[in-house]
Chains A and B, each alone.
Chain A
Amino acid sequence: MNQSNTEHILASFEEALRESRNSVLRMASVAQQNLEHAITGLLSRNSELCNQAIADDDEVNSYEKSIDGEGLKTLMRFSPVATDLRQVLAAMKIANNLERISDEAGSIARRARKIGKQAEVAETRMMEPLYEMAAELLRDGIRAYAESDVSLAMSLYELDQKLDKAHRKTIKELTKAMEQDPENLKVYLHLIFVVRCLERIGDHAVNIGEESVFVESATDIRHVGADALKEFSSE
C-alpha cells in the first residue's frame, strides 16, 4: 500500500474527494434506513413504514445522481490518477449499488403493503434472519469502504454464501407452504419475492466490498473465482 495521507496541493480537489466520500456514506445511511423501514413494515404489518420506505427512495435516487454528477465534474476538473481515480470511480459505482439496494427495499415495502392486507402467516417471520444477514452485509460493506478495511470487505463473501444458502432453503420452505396452504398462495408468493430482494441486497453489499478493495489495493477481485480470492486474502 502506497496510498498517501498527504493533502493535495489543490484544496478544491481534496474537498471534492472528501465530499464524494461523505455523500456516499450519507446515501448509505438512507438506504439502510429504507431497508429497515421496509422490513419492520413487513414484520409489524405497518403500512406507514412501508410508505416511508417507498417515499424515501427518491432521496436515494437524488444522491445517486448528485454523486455521479460530482464524480464526472471531478474527473473533468482534476483528471485524478491512481488512488484518487479509484476513489472517484468507486464512489460512483457504490452509489449505483446503494440505489439498487434502496430499490429492493422499495420492492419489499410494496410487497409488505400487499401482504398486510392479507391474512397473517407464520412464515413471514422467516424473513427476519435473512434480513439480519443482508443488513449485516450492507453494514459491513459500508464500513469496509468508510474505514478502508480490506479484510472486512473480504469477509463479506462468506456471509453472502450463508445468505444464499438461507435464501434457497427459505424458498423451498415457502414453496412447500404454498402446497400445504393454497388459500394464502398470494402471500407466500410475495414472500418469495421478498426473499429474492434480500438475496440481491446481499449481492450489492458484496459489490460495495469489492469496490472498497479496489480503492485500497488497486486490485479487481470481481469474478476471479474462489482460488484467486483465497490467494488474495492470504497476501
Chain B
Amino acid sequence: MNLTSLLPIAMQKETIKSSAQQDESVGAEVSVSADVAESPAGRPDYIKVCDFSFNYVPAVRVLHNITMEIPERQVTAFIGPSGCGKTTLLRNFNRMNDLIDGVSHEGKIYVNDQDIYDRNLEVISLRKRIGMVFQKSNPFPKSIYENVIYSLRVSGQKKKAILDETVERSLKSAALWEETKDRLHDSALGLSGGQMQRLCIARAIANRPEILLMDEPCSALDPIATAKIEELITELKENFTVVIVTHNMQQATRVSDRAAYFYLGKLVEMDDTTKLFSNPEQKETEDYISGRFG
C-alpha cells in the first residue's frame, strides 16, 4: 500500500525533541568531529553495511549477507532473539571481532564512507572514532576522574586543563556531573550500578567519538537507572550516531529512531521504529515483537 495520506498517525515519523535541545548547555559541551559537523542536514547514512557475512570459524557463518544503512546522529536499535547475530554485527563496526581467532568476513562495512576493513586503515584510529558501552558496566578500579580520561592518558595527554575540561564535558554529557563533581577523585567502584554505567558512557565519549555502540546497556540496571540511561541516549544522539542492541522491545520503541530485526544471522527487516512496531512488513517480525515467537 502506497498511500502516505492514509498512513496511521502512529506510523508518521515523530520528531523526538530531546531534552538536549532544551538544555543547550549539554549540547554545547560535546563538539563533534569535523566530518560529522560538515555532514549535510537530513541525516545521511553514516554506517553502510554492504552484503556483509561473518564467520566465527570457517564452518560457522553467523551473519548472512547483511545490507543496511545506519543514519547519522540517530539511534538505531538492533533487536532479535539471542544468537541472531546483532551483537556480532555491532562488534564488527569497531572491528572488535578481529581479536577472535579464526574469524573471517565477506562484504564491506563503511563508516562515513571509509571502508573499515581497508588494509591501510589503522584499527586503533577506527576505534577512537567509535565508543562502546557494554552490557555490564566495567569501570576501572581507579577514581571517577581517571576513568573518564583513561583514553587521553593512554594517548599521552598531560595538560591538566584539557583533562579537566574533558572530565567535566564528558560527565555532563553522560548526565553524571552533578552527582559526582564533588567526589571526582573517589573510587569509581563506589558508584551505584546506574552511575557506573553512565561513567562508562562518559569514558566512551571522552575521546569525542563519532559513533556510540551500546550492547544491552541497561540489562543489569533497575528501572530508574534504565530511565536515566534512556534519557541520556536521546540526548546523546544530538552529537553521536548511536547503535544499541537491546532485548527490551519497549526500550527500543522509546529510544530508537530506526530498528532492525535480526533472526538466525539475517536481517529480516529494518524500518522506522514506529513503523516496525506498529505495522511491520514481515510476519516474522510481527511474531517476534508481539511475543509469538517460537
Chain A interface residue number, banded? 20 to 34
B5 to A, closest residue via Cβ: A228
Judge if A180 is at the interface, Cβ distance under 8 Å: no
State whether A81 touches B278 (Cβ < 8 A).
yes
B2 to A, closest residue via Cβ: A235
State whether B7 touches A220 (Cβ < 8 A).
yes
State whether A219 touches B283 (Cβ < 8 A).
no
Judge if B126 is at the interface, Cβ distance under 8 Å: no
Given contacts A4-B286, A6-B292, A9-B294, contact A79 B3 (CB under 8 A): no
State whether A219 touches B7 (Cβ < 8 A).
yes
A162 to chain B, nearest CB (A): 24
Judge if B8 is at the interface, Cβ distance under 8 Å: yes
How far apart are the CA atoms of A25 and B1 in the complex, in Å? 29
Residues of A within 8 A of B6 (CB): 219-221, 224, 228, 231-232
State whether A81 touches B253 (Cβ < 8 A).
yes
A209 to chain B, nearest CB (A): 15
A4 to chain B, nearest CB (A): 5
A45 to chain B, nearest CB (A): 47
Within 8 A of B (CB), among A190-235: 214, 217-221, 224, 228, 231-232, 235
Given contacts A4-B287, A81-B253, contact A218 B292 (CB under 8 A): no
- Mask, A109-150, CB within 8 Å of B = 1, is 000000000000000000000000000000000000000000
Given contacts A218-B8, A232-B6, 16 further A-B contacts (CB under 8 A): A2-B282, A2-B283, A4-B287, A9-B293, A9-B294, A79-B249, A81-B289, A81-B290, A82-B278, A83-B290, A214-B8, A219-B1, A219-B7, A228-B5, A228-B6, A235-B1
**Interface residues of B, Cβ cutoff 8 Å to A:** 1, 3, 5-9, 11, 249-250, 253, 277-283, 285-287, 289-294
